[in-house]
Chain A
């Protein structure tokens, strides 16, 4: 009997809280989130961070469904083509993979025109990291070496089609350099190889490599953000070095095309409230996730720009990459 009392109180409290919070999402009481990657990955980290807040502001429960495979393309194809556009099913959309999937493979047939972009939540800026005992102490030394020995400096990326692969090419084009690109199966193996001195540098992401940078195992040379970041105030941006490249890996939410306007508005509103919530901002910072909030048409524009950039880049380098 003793145990029951607090339980009743807790239930009452939960009921009261949800009573206040429930904004009554027009589409239904629960929203299914299709995840294109395995549970416990980067997308899942975003899902687990955002969903308690989204439940609070939208008044609906979130149910994650993991459909890994083809770098997210299986889940996104289902979202675009086989999902009832009623607002009860949405997906976490990662850029640039969302676009590069179908840019690079004709067999992948969805496109962003078949989606309703809701909001981008986070962007993990790109970063150049080298081993702690690397001869390259600064970005300038690294870039000079690359200029002197074209095509011989080995640079790891997270895989063909990923953000690091494309940022490497963007940097090569902007600075007229040539690296020896080595694709790995994800960000982890790429920075591990750099840390072990197996490759000269890894083009990676700030949030992913930050624990190793903090421990002194990896040295950051430059980040691909608009401005310097608070966590690493001494690390220059590529823009400062005269290379006009801003790149990273972004994650947000999208729904199928043509969902009811009211559902779209409510989803965007809930995301906006979440992004403005100081608790959410604190939680995100603790997980080394960088909020880069772009809602509705801003997100749509962001996706369209990315599609254009990566489409052009791939068109230019395609023959070169696939000839190897």
Chain B
């Protein structure tokens, strides 16, 4: 593999201009200063209580996500391109989902194969023929982006269900401002703290038309044991809305209410951080204690907005991903601004053969996998792992896609041995309301803390960085 593109230092040793002041500061800063700030940052995070739970990890149910103190910098011009591409992509996603549950034009046109929709586990027949308020489906999207060279950003994954991580975007910035005021005075960094206001405005704009002028918005969480609980409570607090659990809500005559100390109070918009399957035991999993019985019938009656809408998962698995460029062309008549990573669909026999023959060079992913689980990184895998995946591929080829191993860009990162390049990705958050699309300049930069590792997921030991969009 050729050396990865470093976002600060080019292969000839010169520093990219966006990073020049940071590079200067880094080379001037005494080693113990950085070390001291790292300790301070950890203390701050621990005090605030930002932790996340790792599934299957009984020992440490509450852990800190590693935070790297060196920011990742994006120029105004780069951000402008990203923004255009993100708006385009999310609009196409919304049109696609609406179509799939409505007229199904894209299927009749043969652009997307039918079985990818109807045999998709995330397809919700309950939504067929239904239109959510304002015919908007993906209100909060987290689009994962990687960079491979100075000019090329790829979309790696669309997250259209309940994308998380935005609390880190906000908290990382708070901590950085506290720890490095001198760096902020040298850069014009676009602020991110209006995200909460933008999110609230988006959610309010999505209220059903039958609701009052002052809609009641709540955030529905699975509860304290959920890995993202910290984020749920953080957002509810920032938005000034109630953080509810399923048992706090009930449905009467197709209207949703919450139980309060002053009696039942109507709920108009539910920002739910619970998966479709758990949302209403009368319609989906009957054993779910997290949901609200009757919620779907209130939803179908048009008395409550669920955000994101039910059934959006049909647009974000890794098999549909490979059709995204065609989906954009189909609905918008435009060329995609952000590229897709070239993807082999193992469901296609020729692609499967290629993947089996070249598996050492490829990244193989489960179509429905997420969080970095169920994934093979060919160049880093052992012989046994490769054979295991070959067998899996032959058994159910449609369950997998494969991509060339990308040289994800690297960013200087503070590790035990000092400052050293580590691979990063970027998750910006795209908000879509009835009054437009909003993107706060920034996002969550995830960093693979282990040398050479390409897996940035927090569940796999990845860390985060503050993401600076320069406002030139």
Instruction: Note whether A and B form a binding pair.
Output: no
State the B residues within 8 Å of A (CB): none
